[in-house]
Amino acid sequence: MELKALPKPLKFILFVSRVLLKLHKNQKKALRRTLSNTHGSSFKSQTLISEVDHTNLSQKTLIFDVEETLLRSSSVFPYFMLVAFEAGSLIRAFMLFALYPLLFLVDDELSIKIMVMVSFFGTKKDGFRVGSSVLPKFFLEDVGVEGFDVLRRGKKTVGVSKLPQIMVECFLKDYLEIDYVFGRELKVHGDYFVGLMNDNKNIIEHRINEMLEEDDQAIYFSNKFAKHDWISCSKEVYVVRNGEKKAWQILPKERYPKDLIFHDGRLAFRPEPLRMLVMFMWFPFAILLSIFRTIIALTMPYGALIPILAFTGLQLKLTNNNSNLDVTSDDHKQHKGRLYVCNHRTLLDPLYLSFGLKRPFAAVTYSLSRMSEILSPIKTVRLTRDRDQDAKTMDKMLRLGDLVVCPEGTTCREPYLLRFSPLFAELSDHIVPVALDSYVTMFYGTTAGGLKCLDPFLFMMNPNPVYRVQFLDQIHGVSSQASETKSTRFDIANYVQSEIGKTLDFECTSLTRKDKYLVLAGNEGFVNSTSNKR
């Protein structure tokens, strides 16, 4: 068929198609010329995994795009959602979630600007700790092994991110040991973020050039050609294909350069859009469920509340390895109760211990909100961190009945045990170690920088929270041991810690409450700075 015989509309479509095809070819040629002029013969279009394995990187500076070549997912929405939820509020998080469809209709740069505005506007700069206490956990869980292995081979590593620097710096420097981090800077007015970023044009390129020494051989890693202005800082360019990233494996926790022991925040899941939709739909029902579970725990006898709570989805798994719980000890002859020593997972630890044995206990604690103290169905007594006074208080409570103590002094979410305070070893001849573990899918029931009065309620808001309680063999305290085999209170505390660690497969550490709060809250974890410390 001749072209003249075609209808006019079809002729017009063919003409437009030819013009667009010609423009596309010219654009590709111009791009090739630009790359050639910029990098000369040193430009290499290679994939990160298949080609770099045979390249010696030990004397080279590796400049990498954090989101494109280190993280498995290129979506940054979950990280801004964490900022909106943890540093902002539930309402701010819902606003960001509602804007998610709009983010598809705009380009990548405008999308980030929108998320920055919603997440950061009005947030106080000095009080912002999400970047160091919350985000590292979620970033680490998205690191690809293949990309991480390549970056560890360089002499010097430089991470470049399109996210605000305050979000990525702690994760990259403290946990992955990246030498330099260059991200976006946020504008501040009167110590508050205004939700805007400084103009980034040529700034990062200038900062990278200042960092590079004359003899540095820089290599750039990205998954897109000539995407950034700072590509000119590199003599070689390696490209990561999206297909390769999808096949990457998650970096195992045992390979973290620095162990992730402490982290904060309420969300226990990666806040992808679909998961956030489920959370927002569940939230109203979760509040009612939490109130119902609390009322049952406060009002019903043990024989009735345990099956009712199990019916609502709350699981208690009890293991009793101690065959001597009913044996009369010297302490009982002295009218003393048993001392249950357990690791600390949530504020509900003593309560679940009470549920497990179906009898009430008294519990001593270092920090407890007034609301939790009022609502607690068991007796709770505050400790002062004054050694002599706390010893008298615990001895008095033991003479009134059984007592529960968590010698770690604070909770820890990860599979680690903090240092056990040895005070308990001097107070009783009948010490029962108890190994506790909990599991949640939606909300954490602990916090270092948030409202502690909400801890029990948020734990109860989970659809199927799980608690494991394991009683171990009893041990003797310092006073009852023979002089030739007598152990110190420190030996007993370390022994109890190690036995609980073996039971739970947790790692024992010498870290304390002070270490936790310095990492997560920037303080030592004391309400009153003049309080005595042991």
Classify residue 10: in a domain, yes or no: no
Given 200, 220, 255, which residue is the final one in a domain? Answer: 255
pLDDT score of 533: 36
SS3 196: strand
Residues 6+ apart with CB under 8 A from 517: 410, 448, 523, 524, 525
pLDDT score of 47: 45
Q: How far is CA 343 from CA 188, 354, 376, 402, 448, in A?
A: 42, 15, 19, 17, 17
456 & 414 share domain: yes
Residue 181: CB atoms within 10 A of its CB come to 19
User: Which residues of the chain, if any, have pLDDT below 50?
Assistant: 1-3, 23-24, 27-48, 226, 327-330, 332, 483, 527-534
Model pLDDT for residues 313-364, shown as the tens digit of each residue: 999 999 886 655 554 444 545 567 899 999 999 999 999 999 888 888 899 8
pLDDT score of 404: 94
Is beta strand 431-439 parallel, antiparallel or unpaired with respect to 466-471?
antiparallel
380 & 496 share domain: yes
49 & 159 share domain: yes
330 & 245 share domain: no
Model pLDDT for residues 198-220, shown as the tens digit of each residue: 887 677 777 887 888 777 777 78
**Domains of the chain: total:** 2
Given 187, 221, 255, which residue is the final one in a domain? Answer: 255
Residue 486: CB atoms within 10 A of its CB come to 11
**Residue at 369: amino acid letter:** S
Structural domain boundaries enclosing 348: 273-520
215 & 187 share domain: yes
Given 225, 255, 285, which residue is the final one in a domain? Answer: 255
296 & 428 share domain: yes
165 & 39 share domain: yes
| Helix locations, 385-531, DSSP H | 387-400, 455-460, 489-504, 513-520
| Apex 164 CA angle, 129 and 519, nearest 5 | 20
> What is d(CA 380, CA 373) in angstroms, rounded to the nearest whole number?
7
Identify the CATH number of the domain in which residue 197 sits: 3.40.50
374 & 467 share domain: yes
Do 198 and 7 meet the contact criterion of CB atoms below 8 Å apart?
no
179 & 303 share domain: no
Structure-token pair, residue 110: 């405008």
Do 330 and 429 meet the contact criterion of CB atoms below 8 Å apart?
yes
Do 417 and 508 meet the contact criterion of CB atoms below 8 Å apart?
yes
Classify residue 23: in a domain, yes or no: no
Classify residue 530: in a domain, yes or no: no
Classify residue 261: in a domain, yes or no: no
pTM for the structure as a whole: 0.85
